[in-house]
Every structure is written in C-alpha cells, then in structure tokens.
Structure 1
Amino acid sequence: MRGAPARLGVVVASCVLVLAACGSGSGSGASSSRGSRHVTSADGIVTAAKGSRDDAPHLSGRTLEGDALDVSSAYEGKIVVVNVWSSWCPPCRAEAGSLERVAKELKPQGVEFVGINTRDASTGPAKTFEKSYGLTYPNLYDPAGKLVLRFPAGSLSPQAIPSTLVIDRHGKIAARKLSGVGAGTLHTMIGPVLAEK
C-alpha cells in the first residue's frame, strides 16, 4: 500500500491540470506560496530573481518519436524553455507557431526549447499536432503528468495547460506563464535570462 499515496498524488495533480487546462485568463493572478521571491507582471509573467530561484527538476523520458531525452545533460549550460501542452487545447494550438519561430530564432544564442505533451492518451494526436504546426524541437510524452509533478511545491511550476517556463543556464526556474504565449511574451520572458552572465 506504500504506492497508494504516490498514486493519489498523481491523480490529484492530474485533476488540477485538467481543471486548469486551457484557461483563457492571462494568468496575472498567479502567485507563489513563497510570496516576495516571485514577481508577477501585468501580463501574467511570474519571475524569480537570480539569487532566489528553485532548481528545475530532472526532466527525462521518451519523446513523441520514441527517442530518449535527458534535458539536463542534453542542454547543460543552456537556457531551456519548457512548454507544457496537449493536442486538444485551443490555446496550445494558438501558441504553437510562435514557440517554433522563437525556438529557431534563439537557438544560435544558446536557447533550447522542449515540449512536454501531457493528458493525451496516445502519441497519435500529439504527433499530428507536432506535424501540423511544424514543431522541430523535441517533445517529451508525459500522458499522466508525472514530469509536471517533479517540479517543487511552491516553485514556478506548470499549473495549467498550456504553461511555459524558462530555466536558466544553471538549471534554475527563472520565469513562468500559465497561459498561451506569443512571440513578444516569449522574448519578454527569455530576454532578461539571456542577458545574465
């Protein structure tokens, strides 16, 4: 019965994600239980100052194509933008083109994008989504939301579908947006982290 609490945690977190899924709000009301360490802008971007960021969790698994990916080792020393999405989510569809454009634009500057596909029962719809929107960056397949649960409580964790996070060069969570993003929002989130030494 030791596995029961863990399974319950997965179910509860999955329900929270589904209930929060595809929210149309700006996310400007998002806040952290750790209060003043995080600042929320008028457009719903939540940031953490360089000295007060939480470690990002170890994100690894299989991509939609079945390839193994360990984000920490594959992108060590790089800025990583993580986007949590589902194929059935309208805001996820709306943001996909912007994510791909900015990923290509910033790759030469040491910024890598990784998607986490969650709440899709099979890889078929997710692969169709990937192809339809021309996504070239890797997307981890996480149907039960286990990767999402690895983010520390009280951190800038993904709490909705879609969610986008920026992880700095030292593997710490620098910024989060809990709704769809456009190119301008992505640059606002990534720019300050890119400028850090």
Structure 2
Amino acid sequence: MRRLALVCVSVLTLLLAACTGSGPAAEGGFVSGDGTITRVPPDQRTPAPAISGKTLDDEPWSSSSVTGKVLVYNVWGSWCPPCVKEAPALVKAARRTEKTAQFVGLNTRDASPAQGQAFVREFEVPYPNLFDPGGELVLKFAGQLPLNAIPSTVVIDHQGRIAARVMGEATEATLVGLIEDVAAGR
C-alpha cells in the first residue's frame, strides 16, 4: 500500500510539473508542443465542434459563417514565446491560402482583449481572433484532438470535420501543405 501511494505521488508530481512550467515539457507555465503533426484520413474524420464567440474587437463570429473553405484554428496567447515566433508564419500562410482557407485565432489566457489586440497589430494578423481567456472554446475540441500545447493549430475540412492538428509551433510550409492537402480531399 505504501509503495502504491509513493507511485501515485510521483505520477501526480510529474503531471503538475508539466502544468506549472517546472517540468521539461513546459515553458513559462504552459506545455509547449514539439511540432508533431497528426493527419486524420478522410474516412476517419469526426465533426469539428461549432465555435462561436466575440472577436478581440468585440464582434460576433461563428464557424457557421465559413462555407466552402478549409477552416484553420490557431490557439495562441500574447504571453507565449512560441506563439510570438510562430505569428509571421501564420500570417504568411493565411495570405497565401486566402482563397481556400479561413484562419481564426483562439486567443487564450490573456487577461484582456487589449493584450491580444496589441499582438494582432504588431504582427498585422489579417484574420479574426476570438477572445477565449478561460479556454472554453479550446475545450470544445476535448476528446477529438487534444490541444494541450500552446500554440496548437487545427485544420477543418470542407465538410466541417477535423482533418489535422499541429501541436506546437507550425511553419508556413507545413500550414500551406496541410491546407492544400485538405482542400484537395486528402
């Protein structure tokens, strides 16, 4: 019994270390991804959750307003160093694929919209960003493709199904390639 308790305490300590930023997989109080790409074959895709909310500019936005395009959600925070590093690649990918894809940012864990607005201005982000300080929108993906790393990116196909995920920082080439594959039905 004592051995079981010791094992449980050890496991709990490792889990908490990853969440608090004191473990090897965490940076600054968040879990950073390693850029792992998960592709879901078309015949195994599940419907993406409906996402709606207020943008950083307090305008309503809903995933139901996007038709005929690949939808790309990027989870980010202005406080997140990998998000800052990734931002130029997202902007370039969004501009290169604007005819086939709609990017949407999910701004998580920022205390106020002003923090996200400053980030969007600095990087000249051309797409809407929803203010999600508590992560409620991100949690809608739970059980499908976990988004426990920040940044994370999810690609949704024309039929509204989850097609791919990047855990951690994504490159322009990776995003454009994923979008082209999904737009082509792959």
CA deviation profile, 1:12-33 (whole Å, cap 9, x unmatched): xxxx87766351x524xxxxxx
**Structure 2 residue 140 is matched with structure 1 residue 147:** no
Percent same amino acid among aligned pairs? 42
**Structure 2 residue 150 is matched with structure 1 residue 161:** yes
TM, length-normalised to structure 2:
0.81
Shift of 1:187: 2.1
> 1-side partners of 2:180 and 2:145: how far apart?
18
Change (3 A) 1:128 1:78: same
Aligned residue type for 2:69: K
Change (3 A) 1:160 1:17: farther
Change (3 A) 1:172 1:17: farther
Aligned with residue 94 of structure 1, among 71, 85, 88: 85
Over aligned residues, Cα RMSD in angstroms?
A: 1.9
Counterpart contact for 1:60–1:68, Cα < 8 Å: yes
Q: Give the gaps of 5 or more residues in structure 1.
A: 1-15, 28-43
Moved over 6 A (4+): none
**Structure 2 residue 114 is matched with structure 1 residue 106:** no
Counterpart contact for 1:80–1:112, Cα < 8 Å: yes
Shift of 1:84: 0.2
Q: Give the gaps of 5 or more residues in structure 2.
A: 1-17
Shift of 1:133: 0.4
Shift of 1:132: 0.4
Counterpart contact for 1:22–1:89, Cα < 8 Å: no
**Structure 2 residue 130 is matched with structure 1 residue 122:** no
Shift of 1:159: 1.7
Aligned residue type for 1:111: A
**Equivalent residues in 2 for 1:38-77 (5 A)?**
44-71=36-63, 73-77=64-68
**Equivalent residues in 2 for 1:4-83 (5 A)?**
21=30, 23=32, 25-27=33-35, 44-71=36-63, 73-83=64-74
Larger Rg: 2
Aligned with residue 170 of structure 1, among 152, 159, 172: 159
Aligned with residue 137 of structure 1, among 118, 127, 132: 127
Aligned partner of 1:33 in structure 2 is none
TM, length-normalised to structure 1:
0.77
Counterpart contact for 1:117–1:140, Cα < 8 Å: yes
> 1-side partners of 2:20 and 2:42: how far apart?
31
Aligned residue type for 1:57: P
> 1-side partners of 2:166 and 2:20: how far apart?
17
